């Protein structure tokens, strides 16, 4: 498939024509989605955000598997654009019989950037016009394995101190949100979802399911989501069950890496790893 795409790029007229066709098809699909959803009332919108490689797609896949009926998943949304402009899961559009649950996913976005874009207006309009119920979910992973996964996936993002500091700053800001006495964004409750705990603790999954208003269950726990290309270390080659067995040890492969050392030498990072995720570095 990759070779075919590269071959097509070598023929500009064909490549541009296919690109235009894809864009047109996407606009048609999005228009259909907007029109179909607007026919419903009292549907639910879940806004999921977190840093990339936090287990976002694994958690979202689990959430969608607990939803009976209609659901639409918009992936990796640009916070400066309308939420429906993102790539969405066509297989999830089943809007025939029941009000849909809409899942909007944002990755590597700060609270300020998320709340200053068109999202708030989008949510407000749907709350007022259609009685939509809105929830936020913040996905957090332990810092050691998170940054090890990101370093494995995008080593070029760890070449300069400013890039490293920016990523650490965003992570710490997300942890701060999870520690607020009243966890809200613009008055809307935020449900913290801890990836490490979700992998191993059925009671944690049950608690999160209740807070998110979805069915309680473990369906989807043994599926490796394709949207995020699976594990940074193993891609989609391993089963989810196999990945769970060593997912908390990924960071040890980077223990002696000077770039990784800069991260784990941060006292706040050490404290979070130890006190929130029971990992000593």
Above 50 in pLDDT, residue 228?
no
Cα separations (Å) of 137 from 61, 123, 192, 257? 14, 15, 6, 32
The rounded percent of the chain whose pLDDT value lies above 70 is 78
Nearest CA-CA partner of 234 in 279, 245, 280: 245
Q: What is the mean pLDDT of residues 94-101?
A: 61
Q: What is the mean pLDDT of residues 194-210?
A: 95
Q: What is the mean pLDDT of residues 35-59?
A: 85
Cα distance between residue 124 and residue 130, in whole Å: 10
What is the per-residue pLDDT for 89? Answer: 63
Which fold, 37-222+238-277? Rossmann fold (3.40.50)
Cα separations (Å) of 93 from 70, 72, 103? 7, 5, 12
Spatial contact of 72 and 161, defined as CB atoms under 8 Å apart: no
Above 50 in pLDDT, residue 82?
yes
Q: Which of 97-106, 195-204, 231-240 has the least mean pLDDT?
A: 231-240
Cβ count near 53 (within 10 Å): 25
Domain regions of the chain by residue span:
37-222+238-277
Nearest CA-CA partner of 61 in 103, 106, 32: 103
């Amino acid at each position: 498939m990759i070779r075919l795409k590269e071959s097509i790029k070598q023929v500009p007229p064909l490549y541009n024509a296919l690109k235009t066709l894809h864009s047109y098809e996407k606009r048609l699909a999005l228009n259909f989605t907007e029109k179909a959803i607007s026919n419903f009332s009292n549907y639910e919108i879940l806004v999921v955000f977190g840093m990339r490689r936090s287990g976002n797609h694994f958690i979202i896949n689990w959430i969608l598997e607990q939803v009976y009926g209609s659901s639409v998943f918009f992936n990796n949304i640009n916070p400066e654009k309308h939420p429906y402009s993102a790539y969405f899961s066509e297989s999830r559009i089943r809007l025939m019989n029941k009000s849909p649950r809409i899942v909007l996913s944002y990755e590597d976005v700060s609270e300020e950037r998320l709340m200053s874009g068109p999202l708030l207006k989008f949510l407000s309009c749907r709350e007022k016009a259609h009685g939509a119920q809105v929830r936020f979910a913040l996905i957090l992973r332990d810092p050691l394995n998170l940054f090890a996964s990101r370093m494995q996936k995008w080593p070029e993002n760890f070449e300069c101190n400013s890039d490293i500091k920016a990523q650490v700053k965003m992570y710490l800001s997300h942890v701060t949100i999870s520690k607020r006495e009243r966890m809200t964004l613009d008055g809307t409750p935020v449900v913290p979802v801890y990836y490490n705990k979700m992998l191993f603790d059925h009671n944690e999954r049950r608690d999160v399911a209740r807070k998110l208003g979805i069915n309680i269950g473990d369906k989807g726990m043994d599926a490796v989501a394709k949207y995020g290309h699976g594990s940074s270390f193993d891609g989609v080659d391993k089963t989810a069950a196999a990945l769970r067995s060593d997912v908390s040890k990924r960071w040890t492969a980077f223990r002696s890496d000077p770039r990784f050392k800069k991260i784990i030498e941060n006292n706040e990072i050490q404290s979070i790893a130890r006190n929130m995720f029971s990992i000593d570095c």
